């Protein structure tokens, strides 16, 4: 995968860095796996704005992704690697031996015509989905289930991966992209490899209008609001705003909001590192 730096022929392109999209093979999605994706503009069913800074943006269609990988033992062939406007990672179109087609999150190194399979008897190769109990220790994994049969919810965004650290009884220990180390049931599925499009974090938008194309409206800073609108608002002149906190008064920058009595705390061995 490569990045392209554009020539500064306009102010918006002067610092812009775009994706080369070298690994993509088609720009047309599979029609049977596309669903409508309506925008809310941040409004609820009564038309009242309930989420700020949302609106506009380019029209999108949702690609139905198979996060469960529950077609066990049926080999599939990678037909294409495609762009998905709804996520940072690329997606891969699989054609199963029984004729069914499905989209999955593409792993880095996945090639056209490559065979992938899911299930207990699958080999630990890139793109294959296996239970954590069958994956060798130290393997780099992604698209991990938190509960058996739930579907992948961990390490799904571009360039992310986790590492299988240890196995004890019915649990395995994995190190997540955040730096957190936790235990997960060994019967949960995970996919071998790193999620594709690892250069996503190096892209540079170049101009504010590009955020509007993504459906993001301008965000008002808290310190320029009035005291009635935000705890950090008000003051004579350019006041610093006091202690950083949210609109509802919850402190930011290091304040822990996780419940001390949360049931899943016992599965967390080491909390994520604070940056």
pTM equals 0.91
DSSP the chain: --EEEPP-SSGGGSS-EEE--TT---SS--GGGEEE----TTB-TTS-B-STTB------EEE-B--S---BT--EEEEEEE--TTSSS-EEEEEETTS-EEEEEPBTT--TT-EE-BSTT--S-TT-EEEGGGSPTT-EEESEESSTTS-EEES-STT--EEEEEEETTEEEEE-TTS-EEEEETTSEEEES-BS-GGGGG-B--SHHHHHHTTBPPPPPGGGS-TTT-TT---SSS---SS-B-TTS-B-SS---S-TT-GGGGGEEEPPPP-
Torsion of CA 110, 113, 118, 120, to 10 degrees: -100
Q: Give every CB contact of residue 114 below 8 A, 6+ residues apart in sequence.
A: 77, 78, 127
Which residues of the chain are under the pLDDT cut of 50?
none
pLDDT value of residue 239: 87
Tell me: the pLDDT tens digits for 246-259?
A: 999 999 988 988 99
pLDDT value of residue 1: 58
pLDDT value of residue 240: 85
**Contact by Cβ (8 Å): 162, 142:** yes
Q: What is the CA radius of gyration of the chain?
A: 22
Whole-number Å distance between alpha carbons of 81 and 103: 10
Instruction: Return the half-sphere exposure (C-beta side, CA atoms, 13 A cut-off) of residue 217.
Output: 9
pLDDT value of residue 275: 58
Average pLDDT, the chain: 94
CATH H-level, domain 3-201: superfamily: Nucleic acid-binding proteins (2.40.50.140)
pLDDT value of residue 16: 95
Tell me: the pLDDT tens digits for 161-202?
A: 999 999 999 999 999 999 999 999 999 999 999 999 999 999
Each domain of the chain, given as residue ranges in start order, spans: 3-201
pLDDT value of residue 272: 82
**Contact by Cβ (8 Å): 64, 91:** no
Whole-number Å distance between alpha carbons of 174 and 130: 15
The phi, psi pair for 205, rounded to 5°, reads -65, -50
């Amino acid at each position: 995968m490569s990045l392209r730096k554009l020539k500064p022929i306009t102010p918006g392109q002067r610092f812009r860095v775009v994706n080369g999209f070298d690994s993509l093979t088609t720009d047309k999605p599979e029609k049977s796996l596309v669903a409508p994706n309506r925008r809310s503009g941040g409004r609820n069913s009564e038309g009242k704005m309930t989420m700020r800074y949302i609106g506009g943006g380019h029209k999108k269609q949702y690609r139905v992704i198979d996060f469960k990988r529950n077609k066990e033992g049926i080999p599939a062939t990678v037909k294409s690697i495609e762009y998905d406007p709804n996520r940072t990672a690329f997606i891969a179109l699989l054609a199963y031996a029984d004729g069914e087609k499905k989209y999955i999150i593409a792993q880095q190194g996945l090639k056209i015509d490559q065979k992938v399979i899911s299930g207990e008897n699958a080999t630990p190769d890139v793109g294959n989905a296996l239970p954590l109990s069958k994956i060798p220790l130290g393997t780099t994994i992604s698209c991990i289930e938190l509960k058996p049969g739930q579907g992948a919810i961990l390490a799904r965004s571009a360039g992310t991966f986790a590492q299988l650290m240890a196995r004890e009884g019915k649990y395995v220990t994995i190190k997540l992209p955040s730096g957190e180390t936790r235990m997960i049931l060994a019967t949960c599925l995970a996919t071998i490899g790193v999620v594709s499009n690892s250069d996503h974090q190096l892209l540079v938008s170049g101009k504010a209008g590009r955020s509007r194309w993504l459906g993001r409206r301008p965000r008002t800073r808290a310190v320029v609001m009035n005291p009635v609108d935000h705890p950090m608002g008000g003051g004579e002149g350019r006041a610093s705003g006091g202690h950083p906190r949210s609109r509802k008064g919850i402190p930011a920058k290091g304040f822990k909001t996780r419940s001390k009595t949360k049931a899943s705390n016992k599965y967390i061995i080491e909390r994520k590192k604070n940056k």
